[in-house]
């Protein structure tokens, strides 16, 4: 409202000045506002403001009459006399309405401008966009083809991750001894995450942006948890493990999928395709799983 009032004041100043210029010489135009926010907006480039504020600031600052904007304290603002409610009789006798006494004094005695509002405290600004370039080296998924079994892949990866961990920590915090179950699981999830981000990049982007994923995954109602793509659905409250409630989504064609199928086929004594499919589904949701498993085993 104060900014609209400032815009109206500018129009009034132009009209009145145009009429008076033929009779008197005007050396300076001074506009007053008791809103520190409005004064801060007027000192801000319009392109940095939201549309409403930007349009009015541009209109005020681009007028043909150069005006100086100053601050008047609310209790010394004549406009507040009427806006706060006052009878016509009281208004006509009010001192401020007939020009504040301080306005007749030298300019250096006029009310001082309060400290300027910092941009962090100024409403109406556009969100600041800071470009950032993050270089992330692509992981070569062809490395998966160099391992003959899932055990070897997970073991080597876990050892590398432990080495990196130990390099970043003090000797008292370093890990030693046989690989733990947690380390081996983290290593497996590392490769699952890498394959997912390579195969389902668009779907992951859409889910993180709150949008609907592509058609091939819509029926799975997928969700993101710990940067891993999982099946959604209605099993959240079922009395089963979390991995069974929300299996990890994997593509139908990937060296990692081949290693996983071979691994579970071997450790479960070479079951049939349907049984192996049921076992895998306790942790993984492989697209077109039946076809892939039958082709593999």
| Overall pTM surpassing 0.85 (yes/no) | no
Per-residue DSSP letter, 249: E
CA distance 37 to 74: 13
What digits encode the pLDDT tens for the residues 149-182? 999 999 999 999 999 999 998 888 999 999 999 9
CA distance 65 to 152: 79
- List the alpha helices (DSSP H) in the chain: 2-20, 36-42, 51-61, 79-83, 88-92, 150-168, 181-199, 201-208, 215-218, 242-245, 255-267, 273-280, 289-296
What one-character-per-residue DSSP string does 265-285 give? HHHTTS--HHHHHHHHTTTEE
273 neighbors 290 (Cβ within 8 angstroms): yes
pLDDT of residue 87: 77
pLDDT of residue 103: 80
CA distance 199 to 257: 12
Burial class (CB in 10 A: 0-12, 13-18, 19+), 203: buried
Per-residue DSSP letter, 186: H
120-126, Cβ contacts within 8 angstroms, sequence gap of 24 or more: 122/37, 122/40, 122/41, 122/44, 123/37, 124/37, 124/41, 124/49, 124/50, 124/52, 124/53, 125/44, 125/48, 125/49, 125/50, 126/48, 126/49, 126/50
- CA-nearest of 215, 193, 219, 191 to 203 is 215
pLDDT of residue 5: 85
**Exposure letters 50-59 (e unless 16+ CB within 10 A, then b):** eeebbebbee
| C-alpha distances in Å from residue 254, one per residue of 142, 247, 285, 293 | 10, 17, 13, 12
| C-alpha distances in Å from residue 115, one per residue of 36, 39, 121, 158, 235 | 9, 11, 12, 58, 59
pLDDT of residue 130: 58
**Radius of gyration, CA atoms only, the chain:** 35
Joined together, the tokens standing for residue 11 give 């129009």
pLDDT of residue 73: 81
CA 182 from centre of chain: 32
Joined together, the tokens standing for residue 115 give 């400290």
The sign of the torsion formed by the CA atoms of 276, 277, 282, 286 equals positive
- Which residues of the chain, if any, have pLDDT below 50? 134, 136
Joined together, the tokens standing for residue 247 give 């299996």
pLDDT of residue 193: 95
CA 70 from centre of chain: 37
What digits encode the pLDDT tens for the residues 171-219? 889 999 999 999 999 999 999 999 999 999 999 999 998 888 888 898 9
pLDDT of residue 59: 85
pLDDT of residue 127: 67
pLDDT of residue 109: 82
Q: Could you tell me how many residues make up the chain?
A: 297
């Amino acid at each position: 409202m104060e900014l609209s009032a400032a815009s109206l004041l500018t129009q009034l100043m132009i009209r009145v000045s145009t009429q008076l210029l033929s009779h008197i010489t005007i050396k300076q135009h001074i506009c007053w506002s008791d809103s520190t926010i409005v004064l801060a907006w007027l000192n801000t480039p319009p392109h940095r403001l939201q549309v409403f504020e930007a349009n009015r600031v541009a209109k005020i600052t681009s007028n043909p009459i150069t005006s100086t904007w100053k601050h008047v304290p609310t209790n010394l603002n004549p406009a507040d006399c009427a806006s706060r409610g006052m009878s016509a009789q009281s208004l006509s006798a009010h001192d401020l309405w007939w020009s504040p006494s301080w306005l007749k004094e030298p300019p250096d005695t006029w009310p001082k401008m309060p400290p300027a509002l910092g941009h962090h405290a100024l409403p109406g600004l556009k969100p600041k966009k800071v470009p950032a370039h993050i270089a992330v080296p692509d992981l070569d998924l062809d490395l998966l083809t160099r391992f003959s079994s899932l055990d070897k892949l997970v073991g080597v990866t876990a050892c590398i991750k432990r080495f990196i961990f130990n390099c970043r920590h003090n000797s008292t915090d370093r890990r030693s001894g046989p690989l733990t179950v947690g380390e081996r699981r983290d290593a497996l999830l590392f490769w699952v995450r890498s394959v997912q981000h390579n195969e389902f990049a668009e779907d992951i982007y859409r889910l993180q942006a709150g949008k609907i994923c592509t058609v091939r995954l819509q029926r799975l109602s997928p969700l993101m948890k710990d940067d891993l793509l999982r099946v959604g659905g209605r099993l959240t409250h079922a009395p089963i493990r979390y991995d069974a409630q929300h299996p990890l989504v994997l593509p139908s064609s990937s060296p990692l999928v081949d290693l996983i199928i071979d691994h579970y086929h071997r450790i479960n004594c070479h079951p049939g395709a349907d049984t192996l499919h049921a076992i895998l589904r306790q942790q993984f949701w492989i697209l077109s799983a039946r076809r892939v498993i039958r082709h593999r085993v």
